[in-house]
Amino acid sequence: MLAAAVVVGLLLLNHTDDPSRIELTSRSASTTTTTAPRSSTTTTPSTTPSTVRHEPAQLKVLVLNGVNKKLALAGPGANALINAGFTGTTGKDAADTVSKSVVYVVPGYEGDGTIVAGLLGIPPVAVKPLSSPLPPEVGNPGDAQVIVVLGPDAPVSTG
């Protein structure tokens, strides 16, 4: 009985002349009519971070070695980005060590951070907004818009 009511309701929904009114009727000793307005869909603007990308040569990227300072991570990471056109890239040791690689971005550079992360083999979920106060491993980032802190999971070659 319930299945029949659902089928009838679907047929009425698809074949109604006035889409703002839907009438459902059940067959029993008494007849009940329910009228409900048809719901409309509304598109909500996206609140995801900006995906605007800047020209690679215009970006200032800082690559930091967040592992043992004896390992050469920052240099090869910076060179990989320079070779990809990010000519404003420098590398140095981080102020502190990290357990995982992270890419910090200033507001408006989220899309650039995702590209930089991808070029270095870092997953996009590692891209984070640069907080205030600065994370301890960042130290003084100067005017860098994208700060990469390479951790022990970094796939960047050490040679």
Q: State the total domains in the chain.
A: 2
User: What is the per-residue pLDDT for 43?
Assistant: 43
Assigned domain for 50 exists: no
Residue 123 to residues 49, 57, 61, 119, Cα–Cα distance (Å): 16, 22, 17, 10
- Is there a cis peptide before residue 133, judged by omega within 30 degrees of 0? yes
In this prediction, residues 141-155 reach a mean pLDDT of: 94
| Whether residue 10 has pLDDT greater than 50 | no
Contact indicator for 100, 126 with CB cutoff of 8 Å: yes
Closest C-alpha among 93, 80, 83, 82 to residue 137: 93
Assigned domain for 67 exists: yes
CATH number of the domain to which 107 belongs: 3.30.70.2390
Q: Are residues 130 and 78 in the same domain?
A: yes
Residue 37 to residues 10, 14, 15, 16, 40, Cα–Cα distance (Å): 15, 14, 15, 12, 9
Exposure of 151 by Cβ count < 10 A (0-12 exposed, 13-18 middle, 19+ buried)? buried
CA-CA distance, 123 to 102, in Å (whole number)?
9
Q: Are residues 12 and 65 in the same domain?
A: no
In this prediction, residues 16-29 reach a mean pLDDT of: 43
Q: Are residues 63 and 122 in the same domain?
A: yes
User: What is the per-residue pLDDT for 8?
Assistant: 40
Contact indicator for 81, 61 with CB cutoff of 8 Å: yes
CB atoms within 10 A of CB 9: 16
Instruction: Collect all residues with Cβ–Cβ distance below 8 Å to 106 and sequence separation of at least 6.
Output: 129, 130, 145, 146
Assigned domain for 143 exists: yes
Read off the amino acid at residue 109: Y
Q: What is the extent of the structural domain holding 123?
A: 56-150
Q: Are residues 16 and 75 in the same domain?
A: no
| Whether residue 20 has pLDDT greater than 70 | no
Looking at per-residue confidence, does 85 or 15 come out higher? 85
Assigned domain for 109 exists: yes
User: What is the per-residue pLDDT for 66?
Assistant: 95
User: What is the per-residue pLDDT for 121?
Assistant: 94
CA-CA distance, 44 to 42, in Å (whole number)?
6
Interval 92-137: pLDDT, tens = 999 999 999 999 999 999 999 999 999 999 999 999 999 999 999 9
CB atoms within 10 A of CB 101: 25
